[in-house]
Amino acid sequence: MRVRRLAMGAGGGGLLRAALLSALLLSFVRTSVAGTPFLEPSIPGTSGDAIVLGRDLDGDGDPDEVTINLEVIEVKEEVYPGKVVTFWVFAPEGKGMVSPARFPSPTIRVEEGDRIKIKLNNTHYFPHTIHPHGTIHPNAMDGVPDFTQEAVRPGDTFTYDFIAKNPGTHFYHCHVQPDVHVLMGLQGMFIIEPNRPNNIFRHLIVGAGEIKDLAKAQAERYDREYSLVYTDIDDRLNAIPTQYKDPRQIEKKMHREYDSTKRQPNIFMLNGRSFPYTLQDTLIKVKPNERVKLRILNAGARTISLHTHGHHPILTHVDGYPVPEAARITRDVFTITAAQRIDLELRTTADDYYSSGPGVWIMHDHTEQAVTNKGISPGGDITAIVYEDFIEPDGLPKVATSLKRFFDPKYYKGEVPVFDPSIFHSTLADYEKGWSKASQPEHQSHAKKSKPSSAEESSDGSRKDADPEVKTSLEEVLEGHKVVARSCDKPRGFRRIHIKGGAEFADEGQVFGFEPNKIQIGRCEEVEVVLDNKDPVRHALMIPGLNPMFMLEFRGAGVQTARFITPDEDITLEFHCHVPLHEEMGMDGVFIVGKGGEPKEEHVAAVGRVFEGVGKVILADSRKGEIVVDHKEIPGFMAAMIMGYPVKPPKLLQGVEPGQQIRFTIDANQQAIVKIRPLTFSGEGTVVSVDIRKGQIVVDHKEIPGFMAAMIMGYPVNPPKLLTALKAGQQIRFTIDAEQRAIVEITP
């Protein structure tokens, strides 16, 4: 800002003008050079020498001499509700006991060609320096202790004096014990603006954030500008200075006993605040059809992956230097390594390319722990790009529900649930009551919890458990699907049962449920199950121990029916929803057949047999020795379904590919597939001849592993219409059915 001199007249009018001028000057920092017309808007709590603007050396209407006096201050700040952290920061020289210090250290702004003097007044108890990272400067001004200067001792000063040469977004930080001092907060953004006439702007922005007075070069292209400093801390380090009084002890604890190689960052911040305070401190406010410059500095010790929801900014600068127009990229995730700076151009025109349109669009590091406050989400460096019509009177964004609970310290102390207790059919008062009872229903779930296992692989690749009682998750599932009863041959009666399923039928501490979940039925009855799925998601009702296995599955909301025949014996049959985790979350029950009871020994013993199945491979993992198959009914063992099975030995999976049809043998004792025979094989080659009338093709094909060597070979094609439009010389991929010995699929 430029303030013109006011003429002082005599008399009352002159006194009035003098009083007005005096009041005006109280809001500005004085200059150090008599007669210079440049004054800086004051920062509350700073001395008159915090920022001193000097002469206009090139005569273009703005100051070209800038002196900044910085101190080192220890501050305690609440970074998110209930969490106070100690930082060390560079701060404009204060006045009395007042200091404008806050984390991060202030954003410094100067103009290309300015003569800069940054005077470090070390008011701290440890030595420090300032390293102007990324700027062009003399070696003596590099701020590296022992190499280019002696570290500035407590009570001493050092002036960093150089010409600002390379415009761009840069970095400044302490270079004394940087693995500690930088992460304690001695870090900030350093901006060199391109030279323009009458380039008047603030030279310090405390705490970074919105830059309201754009420099001339930025105003030529942008409507708004933000300085965004990302960092992360291990709060164990930041707590040390508050635990000891003797600086020798603090030195030992911070620089010798604290091992920065074992650092565990647990607080992630944007401009010194974590969510939800980021929404109060650094909200990216925009209007439609704007261009916004985002200057981004990663001042932390980890790589961040910055993601902008609803927008695809343009990368314009890296480490202060412009990216050539032809090399500029547009994306929604930007990788920024430690100490790196990038400039992004955010466009807010709803063009379905750069922007999705107005709203509240969050912006955050997509490293998931970085959006937590010590492991509780949401937190970390989340902020939002918010359009002006989506800002509440209190300055917070308009959201679909409410942000109120995130401003309660109890939330981040883990004293209140993350989710609404009603989801679990509970209340806040009763939330932690009866957990052990709720987790152990009357009837034992078929999916037993496994114990930790240690396993090794034998020379033939098969898995050997150190503890024979320990089961893998797939083995547990198969264990729970053992046949324990068989339907009688000729039912003697009929019964229709209405069962409702969904979230509204869950007991306290559960999410889903069946109603009823304890059902009395007769022996040797035909039972029609009318399943009313009240939820819009998929649910199922399965009786895993019955042969043939009963299953009714569909996506609701809606009603479907199916029938099964009960055994001619007194037995209790479990039923459950087999959608993953639905059973564990309460969706199970029992059919009491006759008087109920445990299964008979002959049924349990009958499990010790082998069963044959046919199906399509969905997934094969030879390392884990597991396969997922979409198979037909396996009589006496399993209903038709998509199911995972252990494979012993795992080497059986060599050459097995997703999409392949296989025939397999299950050993019920081992609860594993012990033999696999491919029913289909894939090949590729060149068509030699085609005979649609005979339904035959001759192909010069490569080796078909497990089926045929590379050769020219004729094959039947079923159906023959697959040969339509094929011509000699054409490259094709094909599938052979091993049992038909015919090609059943052709892809040109």
pLDDT in tens, 367-386: 999 999 999 999 999 999 99
The whole-angstrom separation of Cα 134 and Cα 127 is: 23
CA-nearest of 633, 662, 665, 647 to 483 is: 633
Task: Give the CATH architecture of domain 249-412.
Answer: Sandwich (2.60)
Count the Cβ atoms, other than its own, within 10 Å of residue 394. Answer: 6
The whole-angstrom separation of Cα 406 and Cα 80 is: 9
CA-nearest of 295, 312, 318 to 230 is: 295
Return the pLDDT at 476: 60
What are the pLDDT digits (tens) for 162-202?
Answer: 999 999 999 999 999 999 999 999 999 999 999 999 999 99
CATH code of domain 24-213 = 2.60.40.420
The whole-angstrom separation of Cα 666 and Cα 646 is: 10
Taking domain 610-678, whether its CATH number is 3.30.70.2190 is answered by no
Fold that domain 681-747 belongs to in CATH: OB fold (Dihydrolipoamide Acetyltransferase, E2P) (2.40.50)
Q: Using the 8-state DSSP alphabet, how is residue 432 labeled?
A: T
Q: Give the residues of the chain that fall short of pLDDT 50.
A: 1-32, 34, 438-472, 605-607
Q: Are 171 and 297 in contact (CB under 8 A)?
A: yes
Return the pLDDT at 468: 40
Q: What is the radius of gyration, based on Cα positions, of the chain?
A: 37
Return the pLDDT at 603: 55
Return the pLDDT at 466: 37
Question: How would you label 173-206 residue by residue, b for 16+ Cβ within 10 Å and e otherwise?
Answer: bbbbbbebbbbbbbbbbbbbbebbeebbbbbbbb
The whole-angstrom separation of Cα 308 and Cα 298 is: 16
The whole-angstrom separation of Cα 470 and Cα 452 is: 7
The whole-angstrom separation of Cα 175 and Cα 419 is: 44
The whole-angstrom separation of Cα 734 and Cα 748 is: 9
Structure tokens at 204: 């310090």
What kind and span of H or E run contains 630? Answer: strand 626-631
Q: Using the 8-state DSSP alphabet, how is residue 148 labeled?
A: T
CA-nearest of 678, 693, 683, 662 to 746 is: 683
Alpha helices of 564-639 — where are they, by DSSP H?
A: 601-605
| Residue entry with tokens 């647990």 | 266
Return the pLDDT at 605: 44
The whole-angstrom separation of Cα 129 and Cα 84 is: 26
What are the pLDDT digits (tens) for 288-316?
Answer: 999 999 999 999 999 999 999 999 999 99
CA-nearest of 486, 481, 588 to 544 is: 481
CATH code of domain 483-605 = 2.60.40.420
The full set of domain ranges for the chain reads 24-213, 249-412, 483-605, 610-678, 681-747
> How far from 597 is each of 23, 111, 578, 607, CA to CA, in Å?
93, 87, 23, 19
The whole-model pTM stands at: 0.71
Domains 24-213 and 681-747 share a fold: no
